[in-house]
Structure 1
Amino acid sequence: MSLRVFSALPIPDEVADIVDPLLDGVPGANWRPRENFHITLSYYGELEIPAVEELDHELARIEMAPFELALKGANHFGKDEPTALWLGVEAPSALADLAAKTRRVAARLGIAVEKRNYLPHLTVAYIDPGEIDLVKLKRFEQQWNLLETPPFIADRFYLYSSHQRRKGPNDYQVEAEYPLFHRRMA
């Protein structure tokens, strides 16, 4: 048996409460439900259960202090043919450090991860290429480009599994939780 897994930061309810009502007005956008909101750290792909267990064990060894971040601005992937609409993340270098640590864990275990540079974001919609209204997409981005949520604390990250449904968005399930904490000095 195998699971499709990724590590990510959860979005707190108070931030999801701000984002969720914004998701409208772009024909061709398949909006993500709030229960799928997350900031991906690393995508590991389809792994056999023993590899997932080994990954879980190693991710649990990551030591980092909690840090503050916020959602800021809007944009899309796929320059002339948009594929996804997202909200940006304003964060200290700690977020990039955490993502790098999760990737290094995977590399040590022989798990391939994406090679592209890390761009923290919250995907809010996937886009049907033939149905997108570029004018309305740009209007959405302009309207929400000034968005900045109140800061929130990243005090944990999760290992999620992704399960495809026949219709609608994937179902994400938490497989493991990893608290971030200040290391005590002896």
Structure 2
Amino acid sequence: MALAIPKAIAQELFLLQAGIPGARWQTREQLHLTLRFIGEVDGRQANDIDDALAAISAPRFTLALKGVGEFGGKKPHAVWAGVSDGQAVSHLNRKIEAALQRIGVAADERRFTPHVTLARLRAAPVGKVMDWLADHAFYAGPPFAVEQFALYSSVLSP
């Protein structure tokens, strides 16, 4: 489940995508804010998930992207843009998590960190990643309205 990123903001993020050798940058169309990753599911389970998600209601809210970060610590494997105030999106994540657990989907044990993945990294020079993070630390995007979320399908390449 994810929030789509408006085209104008996706274009802004696209302009940040340079400066890390070996990074696999996301295309504008791939940019989204993941609310919950599920993994592989069969057709019946996908229908159950779709039904559970359709029953979720949450108030509309405004979201703005702010700052950048990485996952992986000393060996970063992804760089991302964060959010300025994650309270509303975290509330939506909790509602999604509860709905999924009610239909038997295992709980996500990872702490929810609202973000938009900008690139996946493999063997990227750590110094270049740190330089990129410092160069874009003060990124701040304009606010946008969040009115719905969608089920996304991801295909990760090796």
Q: TM-score when scaled to structure 1?
A: 0.81
Q: State yes or no: 1:17 paired with 2:11.
A: yes
What do you get for the CA RMSD once the two structures are aligned?
Answer: 1.4
Higher share of residues assigned strand? 1
| From 22, 29, 48, the counterpart of 1:54 | 48
Choose between structure 1 and 2 for higher RCO, CA contacts under 8 A separated by at least 6 residues: 2
Which entry has the higher C-alpha Rg, 1 or 2? 1
Higher share of residues assigned helix? 2
Aligned to 1:99: 93
CA-CA distance at 1:22 after TM superposition:
1.2
In 2: Cα distance, 1:92 partner to 1:73 partner? 12
Instruction: Note the alpha carbon deviations across 1:24-43, whole angstroms, 9 max, x for none.
Output: 01112111111110111111
Q: State yes or no: 1:87 paired with 2:81.
A: yes
Residue identity over aligned pairs, in percent, reads 35
1:42 and 1:113 in contact (8 A); partners too: no
| From 151, 154, 158, the counterpart of 1:159 | 151
In 2: Cα distance, 1:49 partner to 1:93 partner? 33
In 1: Cα distance, 2:131 partner to 2:141 partner? 19
CA-CA distance at 1:92 after TM superposition:
4.5
Aligned to 1:184: none
In 1: Cα distance, 2:74 partner to 2:92 partner? 31
Matched residue of 1:141: which SS?
Answer: helix
Aligned to 2:70: 76
Instruction: Note the alpha carbon deviations across 1:39-72, whole angstroms, 9 max, x for none.
Output: 1111111111111111111101111111011111
Give ranges in structure 1 of 5+ residues lacking alignment. Answer: 1-6, 168-186
1:74 and 1:85 in contact (8 A); partners too: yes
Q: How many residues align?
A: 158
Q: State yes or no: 1:110 paired with 2:100.
A: no
- Pair 74,164 (structure 1): closer, same or farther in 2 beyond 3 Å: closer
